[in-house]
């Protein structure tokens, strides 16, 4: 690293701060979680959680505290908190930086894919294209509203075979 690339010791790194009302909500959620579990949370540990989760929305932290408080017997580690916060965040954030945003919500969802893989997992044998097509047809039949629009096109019906008409 060259001298001109080094950080100046006179420059302080900025810290993201929450508004006081949001901080109060976070701390209240942490207290409620600890009360449900029946384990005391030290003020220092609560402050550390607050600081570690500063970049996440308050609703995500409240979700984590509610879930953990209802289902756990011990206080969480930071990794537990991050897993639940990121789960909430993934479910409640809009997709960004993708070329297919016009398709979001118009195709197969997580539950559809889980069903599909569960059905596929019942057989130890390799699936042929026709078996996959049959499984996809069963999935389309069970979905509310039927198959996604793209699957009703000739190209969508042939997508497992890799045959695309031009």
Are both 88 and 25 inside the same structural domain?
A: yes
**73 alpha carbon, distance to own chain's centre:** 24
The reply to whether 145 and 85 lie within a common domain is no
Number of domain units in the chain: 2
| Same-domain check for residues 78 and 125 | no
Task: Answer whether residue 67 is part of any domain.
Answer: yes
Together in a domain, 69 and 116: no
- Note whether residue 43 is domain-resident: yes
Question: Does residue 30 lie in a domain region?
Answer: yes
pLDDT digits (tens, 9 = 90+) for 49-66: 889 989 888 999 999 999
Q: Would you say residue 53 lies in a domain?
A: yes
Residue 12 lies in a domain: no
Q: Is residue 145 part of a domain?
A: yes
- Tens-binned pLDDT, residue by residue, of the chain (166 aa): 444 444 445 544 455 588 899 999 999 999 999 999 999 889 999 899 889 989 888 999 999 999 899 888 899 998 888 888 888 877 776 655 555 555 555 677 777 878 888 887 777 778 788 888 888 888 888 888 788 887 788 877 777 777 655 5
Residue 98 lies inside a defined structural domain of this protein: no
Give the residue numbers spanning the domain of 156. Answer: 107-161
* Residue at 78 is within a domain: yes
Pair (83, 24) in one structural domain: yes
pTM of the model: 0.50
């Amino acid at each position: 690293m060259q001298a001109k690339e080094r950080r100046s010791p006179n420059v302080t790194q900025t810290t993201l701060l929450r508004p006081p009302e949001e901080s109060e909500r976070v701390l209240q959620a942490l207290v409620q979680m600890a009360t449900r579990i029946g384990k005391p949370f030290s003020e220092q540990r609560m402050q550390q959680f607050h600081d570690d989760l500063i970049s996440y929305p308050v609703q995500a932290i409240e979700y984590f505290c509610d879930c953990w408080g209802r289902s756990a017997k011990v206080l969480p580690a930071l990794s537990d908190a991050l897993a639940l916060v990121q789960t909430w965040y993934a479910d409640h954030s809009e997709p960004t930086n993708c070329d297919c945003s016009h398709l979001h919500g118009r195709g197969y969802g997580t539950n559809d894919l889980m069903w599909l893989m569960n059905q596929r997992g019942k057989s130890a044998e390799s699936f042929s294209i026709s078996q996959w097509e049959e499984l996809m047809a069963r999935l389309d039949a069970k979905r509310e509203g039927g198959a996604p629009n793209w699957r009703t096109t000739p190209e969508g019906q042939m997508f497992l075979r890799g045959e695309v008409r031009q």
